A = this chain, B = another copy of it.
Amino acid sequence: MLFKQFLNDDLGCACYLVGDEHAGVAVVVDPPYYIEPVLADADRHDVRLVGVVETHTHADHVSGHGRLALEHGVPIRVHRDAGATFPHEPLDDGTEIEVGAVVLRTIHTPGHRPEHCCFAVIDRARSEEPWLVLTGDSLFVGDAGRPDLAVEAREGAEGLFHSLRRLVELGDGVEVFPGHVAGSLCGAAMSSKASTTIGFERRFNPALQGELADFLDARLGPQPPRPPNMERIVELNRGELLGPRPPLDRIDSVPDEAIVLDVRPTEAFAAGHHPGAVGIPVSGSSFATRAAFVLPERPLVLHAGDEEEAERASRALQAVALFGVSGWQEGGGTEKLEPVSLDELERLLADDTVELLDVREADERDESHIPGSRHLPYRTARAAAEAGLLNGRPVVTICESGPRAAVAASVLQAAGLDARPVLEGGVADWQGETCSFRRCGS
């Protein structure tokens, strides 16, 4: 049995190549838009792709099913409730997809979305019973899918509860390979470990303990932000098939209406960048998500250290449906971003010469924050500046360890503000007084 997991570290998405090397055939489950690594692996194992299978219509990344269908003639399968308008063979609960001696048995598991399916994978060369299950956005490693993205949260959570019970019935010895790992916005507490077992999760995953009421209590609490671009991505993923994009070109000048996205490391951006550029390092975590949150709907020009870095950024942006990249240039320029140390920040706050913006999420701020700081999650910085919610005073941005503060400061600087980030350290390193949600005072 051929079985390979492909992780997109930036978005925390997993894709699977499942097949039978002896029969020379395989299917791809939940392909990313950037399908080349999967094609290369299929080629290396000398298997022909005979199908694309989707666990559900993804809301956080653009599927590669269109490219596989249009460029390689691979047929697509998805559950009939997906409302997919592209040509596909609909799946139902129990549908068996045969791939040589390997079988993917469809388990309809609504919850995250109504059409969601898991696939129990059987290798007949070893046994007639499932060896592993691909759980998509239902059961994660240490967590379960969020129920609030496609339907009303309570309805989703009830469906998910019953779907998870069905998965547990597969038995302790069945391996679990999820559709997401840490880094994804499709769950809250999932692990960075990329696999587990039914037995381990049955015993130690909070989502598999207790009865429906406990489950609803836990699942209907606060959720992470909804993935950016969600509606657009869902429409792309269930609509007309999306083919390949033109290659990324080097260009000479920045078109008038375009915005520059500088993807170099923060130090390079801080040392000198194009005036008006937004800086989000592609080498950092959650690059694409951050870009999708803070960029306006305008054509993009990438500023990168070299072509490889630009290509990497372009691919990551395509994964979240940011297709409007006009080209790339080598990064650099006269504008600087001046970091603030925690010591200097203390003096600036004592002198009341800056406003401190806490750019983390609400749950982090509730744990502990610096008194007098204003809460402005980095992902809302552009909207806040455009809406005139910042009064023009110099601002300092702070997060946990620097990266989000840097993005927020670059966004605010691009919007015309005097903005400086704390790059070394964050709220947890603050030596002065802090507040928490429940108790105030240090």
Contact = CB atoms under 8 A, between A and B. Distances in A.
Contact of A203 (B127, B175, B191, B198): B127
A373 interface: no
Given A1-B193, A2-B192, A173 B203 contact: yes
A279 interface: no
A213 B120 CA distance: 35
A174 interface: yes
A1 B182 CA distance: 11
A25 to B, nearest CB: 15
Nearest to A193: B3
Interface string A170-195: 01111100000000000000011111
A200 interface: yes
B175 A202 contact: no
Task: Identify which of A126, A171, A192, A195 gathers the most chain B CB atoms within 10 Å of its CB.
Answer: A126
Contacts of A21: 192
A173 B192 contact: no
A204 B127 contact: yes
User: So how many copies of this chain end up in the complex?
Assistant: 2
A142 interface: yes
Task: Identify which of A2, A175, A198 gathers the most chain B CB atoms within 10 Å of its CB.
Answer: A175
Contacts of A227: none
Interface in A1-59: 1-3, 9, 21, 44-45
B192 A174 contact: no
A247 to B, nearest CB: 22
A286 interface: no
Contacts of A174: 197, 199-200
Nearest to A3: B193
A198 B173 contact: yes
Contact of A175 (B9, B45, B126, B197): B197
A199 B195 CA distance: 15
Contact of A131 (B9, B173, B196): B196
A4 to B, nearest CB: 8
Contact of A200 (B3, B131, B142): B131
A233 to B, nearest CB: 26
A142 B126 contact: yes
A345 B142 CA distance: 60
A175 B45 CA distance: 25
A195 B197 CA distance: 11
B192 A195 contact: no
Contact of A204 (B44, B126, B200): B126
A285 to B, nearest CB: 9
A174 B123 CA distance: 19
Contact of A173 (B45, B193, B200): B200
B127 A200 contact: yes
Interface string A96-137: 000000000000000000000000000100110101000000
Top 10 A-B residue pairs of the complex, sorted by shortest distance between their CB atoms: A173-B199, A172-B173, A172-B172, A127-B204, A173-B197, A3-B193, A173-B200, A1-B193, A126-B204, A197-B197
Interface of A: 1-3, 9, 21, 44-45, 123, 126-127, 129, 131, 142, 171-175, 191-200, 202-204
